[in-house]
Structure 1
Amino acid sequence: MSGFSDEAAWWQSAVIYEIALISFQDSNGDGKGDLTGLMSRIDYLKWLGVDAVWLTPIYKSPFRDLGYDISDYCSIDPTFGSLDEFDHVLKALHAADIRLILDLVPNHTANDHAWFIESSSSRNSAKADWYIWADPAENGGPPNNWRSRFGGTGWEWCEARRQYYYHSFLVEQPDLNWRNPQVRAAIADVMRFWLDRGVDGFRVDASAVLIKDQLLRDNPPNPQAKDKPPPQRQTPVFTDDRPETMDCIEFIREVIDSYPGRVLCGEVQGKIDRIGHFYGNDRPRLHLPLNFALLDSQWDALSLQATIDAYLNAIPEHAWPVWVVGGHDKQRIASKIGKAQMRVLAMLLMTLPGTPFFFMGDEIGRKRVPIPSDRVHDPFEKLVPGFGLCRDPERAPMRWDGSAGGGFTNGDPWLPLEPGGTPNVAEQQRSERSVLALFRALIMLRHEHACLSQGGYEPLRSHNDVLAYRRTKGGAQILVALNVATEPRKWHWLGRGRLLMSTHLDRRSETLPEASILLRGNEGVIIALEAR
C-alpha cells in the first residue's frame, strides 16, 4: 500500500467518501456505474483529497435493494465487473494513497443465495438452522406480530419446510440466524476473503438487528405511531438492538482485529444515548459507529450546539467520534438547509473532532433529484408509498458535467439526473469559490493542521446565530465560528488571530487586529490564534 503509515488508527485522521458504485461512473453505456468507471475517476478522488472510499455492495445480487440482497458474498456482480477488475481498482486506489472500505451485510442474504436454497429445502438439510425459522401460530398464521421495514408481516411461508422464515427487510431478504456458530464462521470466512485481497475494512449494514428475541415475543405498539408509516407503528424491542447483538459485533471485531490496520464501521440505530454501546468497553466493538445526528438536528446554532454536546457526552471516553452528513439511505441535507448553508455544513464537518463521512455529490451541494413515478426503483416507495421514504432521489447518478448523460453514461441512466445540468463537477472545478472548491480546501486544511484532525475540542457558548468552538493541540489553537443566519453577525473572542479560511473562499491568511469579526450571512470562518 503505497505511502500508507503503519499506524493502526489511520481512520482517525481520514476523510471518508461513500460511493454507490451503480451511480458513480458508467464505462460501457449500460446506464449503470461499474469498477472500470470507478478506476477512471480515481484522479478525481485524489484531487478532492479523500483518504478512503466506502462502496455500497458490489457482490452478486438480484439488486432489489441496491445490492443489499446478496446472492454470493465472494463474487462481484457482472453489472460491476469481475474480481480481477476489483483487484486492479484496489491496487490503483492504494497507489493513490486511498483506502477501500466494503459494505458487509451479515444480517440477511438474498433468497437465491445457496445457503437459503439449502436451508429452505428441508428441516433436515445441513443448513436447516442457518436462518430464522418458526412454526405457524395456532391459527396457522405468522408466529408473531413482527413487521418488515418494507411493510406487512416480517414472516413468509415456506411450503417445503411447512414453516415461516423471518425477514427484517424484503421478503426476498431472509434473516440469517446469528445464534448459529456455523453462520458466524461463514461470515468470518467472507470477511477474510476480502481482507486477504487487501481491503481496509468494512461498514457493517444493519449491525443493530443481528439478533432477535429467542422467545419470539410480540413487539408492543409504538405510542408515538400517529402519522408514521405502518412499519414504524411498533416499538421494536424484540427485534432491534437486542443485548445479544453486541456479542455478534464483538465477534466481527475479533475477525478484523486479526488483520492489522483495518477499520470496522457500522450502521447503528436508536437515539444518541445508545450509540456509546456500539464502541464496547472490555471487549471492543465498532471503531466507528456511524453518527447521523447532524442530519437529524434542527439547523440553528442552539440546536446544533446541543446536538454536538449530546453526542460527545454519549460516547465513551476512549471512543473516537464520527460525523456523517449524507448517505445512500439519507435525504440530501442540501435540500434541508439550502445551498448557502451547505458551505457552513462543510466547514462544520471538517472541523469537528472525529472522522468525517460524506456521500458522493455532497461536495457539489447536490439536492434530491426528482424521480418520476415510472422510474422508481426503491422498494420503500413501492411498498410503503405516501410517506416520503423514497431513497432514489439521493441515489441518482453522479453528475460530472452538464450534458444529457451528465458525463456519467453514454446510455440511458438507471435513474434520471437533475434537469438543467447543475450542479455538476466540471462546472464547479472551474470555479475557485464553488462548494466543491470549499470541500477540497477544507480537506487540505484538515490535513495540514493536526489541531483539526487530532486535536482536543472545547465548545464555546453559541449565541446570536453563531455556532462556535475551539480546537487545540500542543500550543496550537484554532477557533471555528459558523453563522447559520442569512444576515451578518458580529462575533467576539479572546486573543489575536489569523483568518485561515472563510466559507466564501475570498478571505484567507488575514491578520485580525481585533478580537472580533463581522461574519457575513451564511459565513463560517476558521481562525488560528496567535501564541501568547
Structure 2
Amino acid sequence: MRRKTEQQTEWWKGAVIYQIYPRSFLDTSGNGTGDLRGIEQKLDYVADLGVDAIWISPFVASPMLDFGYDVSDYLAVDPLFGTLDDFSQLLEAAHERGIKVLMDQVLSHTSDRHPWFIESREGRDNEKADWYVWADATETGGPPNNWLAVFGGSSWQWEPRRGQYYLHNFLRQQPDLNYHCPEVQDAVLDVCRFWLDLGVDGFRLDVCAFYFHDAKLRDNPPNPVKQQGAHFMFNPYSLQAHKYDIGRPENLAFLERLRALTDEYEDRVLLGELNQEEGEQLHKSYTAKDRLHIAYGYWLLGAETPSAAAFRDTARALGHDDMEGWPCWAIDNHDFTRSQSRFGLQDNPEAGPVLTAAITLLRGAACIYQGAELSLPEAEVPYDQIADPYGREFYPAYRGRDGARTPMPWAKDDPNAGFSKARPWLPMTQPHRDLAVEKQDREPGSPLNRTRTFINWRREQPQLLRGSMDFLDLPEPLLGIKRTLDGRSIIAILNLSDDEAIHECDETVCGQALSGHGFFAPHRDGRLEIPAFGAWFGVVE
C-alpha cells in the first residue's frame, strides 16, 4: 500500500481522465459484455492517448438493473467483469504505465438485494433498522412528501414487511442509505478504505450531493426556474426545486470525513459528480479546502451547442482562483447524448479534436469518455433493444442512455467490430464501424491521431496544466484562452464552427506560433486564418 508522504504531487490539477464504461470497452470472455481483462488488454491504447488516469464505471457485484449503479456487495467484483484478482492485475498494469485508476463509488444508495437492506426491511428494531430512509404513511396512506425519483414517479416505495415507505431517488430497487445514521457513514468509509488499501488512486463519487436528505422530510417547493433543453422536457422531476432531497448542508461534514480518510494515502483524489440545480454554489462549497479535490457538473454535458460563450461563461462562473476550487470539465459521459450528435456534428467527425482541446485547455481537470477520441456520434438503438430503464420509462420522448453506451468499435471489418466474439449486449452500428480504432490508426489526420497528438503535447506545457487563466474578448465562434505560468503565456484561439474564421491580431496578442499540437492555422501579416474546427496556439514570453 502506498501511504501519504510529506509532499503531495497534486497530479489531479490539470489531469486528463479517460472514462471507461467496462460493459462496452472490450469483451475477452466471449459473453458479449466487456470485462476487466479487456481493459487491461487495451491499456497501451489508453497510455498512447496521453491521459493521466482512467475512471472505471461500476464493476462491483450488482443485479445490474441500473448496470452496476445498484450495488449488492461493495467489496466484491461482479463475475460478469471478472474477479478481484483480475482487478488487482489491472491496477498493477495501469500503474506500470504511469496511469492512475479511479473507481466509481456509488455511496448514496444500494441495491434492494444488498444484505444491509434485506436486514433493514425486516423490521423496525434490528441492528440495521435505521440504515435506510424509512417513513410512515400519511393518514390517507400516501407517501410522506412530494419528492420525485429521477427515473420517474414518487421517490417513495411501500415495503409491507415494515409497514413503511423507503426512499429511492432513482429506481425503486435502489433504496437510499440514511447518512443521518453514524453507523452508515462508518460503513461506507470502511468500504472506501478497503479499495484504497488495495491501491486505487481515488474515487469518482456518483451523485455525491444526494447523500443526505432533510430529516424533517419537508416538501420540495416548485422550481422557479424552468429548465431548458430536451433533456428536461419529458420528466416532471425538473418541476421541483430540489431543496430538501439533494445538496443538504450535512453533506459537507461527511465529505470532510471522506477527504480525511483519502488524505491518509499518497496522491489519492476525490472526483465528485454534482447535480445541475445550484451547481455553481455546490461546486464552490464541495471543492472548498478539505473536501473534494475536483468536481464536475452538467453545465457542458447538457449543452446543445458548442458555443464559445458556453465554455467561457461557465468557467467564469465557477471561478479561476485556487480558493474557489478545481473543476473537472466534461462534454461526454455514459449518462448524456454524445456531444457529436448533441451539437449537431454527427457528420463532422473533424470537430472532435477541437472539442477535446476546449475542455482540456480550461483551468482544471478534464474527463474524456471512451469513444470521444474517435468522434463517435450517438448510436441509434431500436426500441426492442433498449436496455436502459430510464429510456424504457420515458420512450419515445426520451430514448435513454444506451446510445452513448454501445460497445467501442476496435476493427471496422470484424463482425462485432473487434469488441466481442459474441453478440454485443448493445448493438454495434455502422457509423461506429466507420470510425473504428483500427481504421483511424492508419490515417494521420484522423480524429484519433489528432486527439492523441494534442493531449500528449498538452501534458508537456506547464502553463496548460497549472497556469492562471484569462479569456480573450473574441466574437463567436472563437474561443480565446490565455494560460500563464512563470511569466510565460500560451494563447489558444479555437474555432468552434464549420466555417473558416478570420481574426486580426499581432504577435503581442496572439504570440509566436507553437508547433507539435496537431492543429494548423496560418498567421500572415497580423491575420489569423483558422480553419473550420481548427485552432491557433501561440506563446508570449
SS state of the match for residue 192, structure 1? helix
What are the superposed Cα offsets for residues 267-310 of structure 1, whole Å, 9 maximum, x if unpaired?
111244323334354x5211111134333344233444323322
Where does residue 500 of structure 2 map in the other structure? 488
What are the superposed Cα offsets for residues 238-292 of structure 1, whole Å, 9 maximum, x if unpaired?
11111122222222212211212100011111244323334354x5211111134
TM-score (norm: length of structure 2): 0.92
TM-score (norm: length of structure 1): 0.93
Where does residue 31 of structure 2 map in the other structure? 30
Q: How does 1:513-528 map to 2 (within 5 A)?
A: 514-528=525-539
Where does residue 379 of structure 1 map in the other structure? 389
Where does residue 451 of structure 2 map in the other structure? 439
Of 227-236 and 473-482, the range deviating more from structure 2: 227-236
CA contact (8 A) 1:69 1:108 kept: yes
Q: How does 1:325-340 map to 2 (within 5 A)?
A: 325-337=331-343, 338=345, 339=348, 340=350
Where does residue 254 of structure 2 map in the other structure? 248
1:476 is matched by which residue type in structure 2?
Answer: R
**1:464 offset after TM fit, Å?**
5.2
RMSD: 2.3
CA contact (8 A) 1:502 1:524 kept: no
SS state of the match for residue 296, structure 1? coil
Q: How does 1:182-331 map to 2 (within 5 A)?
A: 182-223=183-224, 224=226, 227-269=233-275, 270-281=277-288, 284-297=290-303, 298-312=305-319, 317=323, 319-331=325-337
What are the superposed Cα offsets for residues 137-189 of structure 1, whole Å, 9 maximum, x if unpaired?
11122122211111111111111111111111111000000001100000011
Where does residue 109 of structure 2 map in the other structure? 108
Q: Distance in 2 between matches of 1:209 and 1:72?
A: 20
Residues 265 and 464 of structure 1, relative CA distance in 2, 3 Å threshold: closer
Q: Distance in 1 between matches of 2:287 and 2:299?
A: 20
Gaps spanning 5+ residues in structure 1: where? none
Q: How does 1:69-88 map to 2 (within 5 A)?
A: 69-88=70-89
SS state of the match for residue 162, structure 2? coil
Where does residue 141 of structure 1 map in the other structure? 142
Q: Does residue 479 of structure 1 match 2:480?
A: no
Q: Does residue 352 of structure 1 match 2:362?
A: yes
Q: How does 1:39-50 map to 2 (within 5 A)?
A: 39-50=40-51
Q: How does 1:388-399 map to 2 (within 5 A)?
A: 388=398, 390-399=400-409
**1:389 offset after TM fit, Å?**
5.2
Q: Distance in 1 between matches of 2:516 and 2:95?
A: 32
Of 29-38 and 518-527, the range deviating more from structure 2: 518-527
1:495 is matched by which residue type in structure 2?
Answer: E
**1:353 offset after TM fit, Å?**
1.8
Percent sequence identity over aligned pairs: 36
Q: Distance in 2 between matches of 1:145 and 1:117?
A: 26
CA contact (8 A) 2:520 2:535 kept: no
CA contact (8 A) 1:275 1:289 kept: no
What are the superposed Cα offsets for residues 5-59 of structure 1, whole Å, 9 maximum, x if unpaired?
9633011132100001111000011000001111110111111111100011110
SS state of the match for residue 348, structure 1? helix
Residues 97 and 123 of structure 1, relative CA distance in 2, 3 Å threshold: same
SS state of the match for residue 47, structure 2? helix
Q: 1:407 aligns with which of 418, 437, 449?
A: 418
Where does residue 458 of structure 1 map in the other structure? 470
1:214 is matched by which residue type in structure 2?
Answer: A
Residues 27 and 301 of structure 1, relative CA distance in 2, 3 Å threshold: same
What are the superposed Cα offsets for residues 511-531 of structure 1, whole Å, 9 maximum, x if unpaired?
x564431112222121223x3
Count of residues paired in the alignment: 524
Where does residue 429 of structure 2 map in the other structure? 418
Where does residue 449 of structure 1 map in the other structure? 461
CA contact (8 A) 2:514 2:539 kept: yes
CA contact (8 A) 2:234 2:398 kept: no
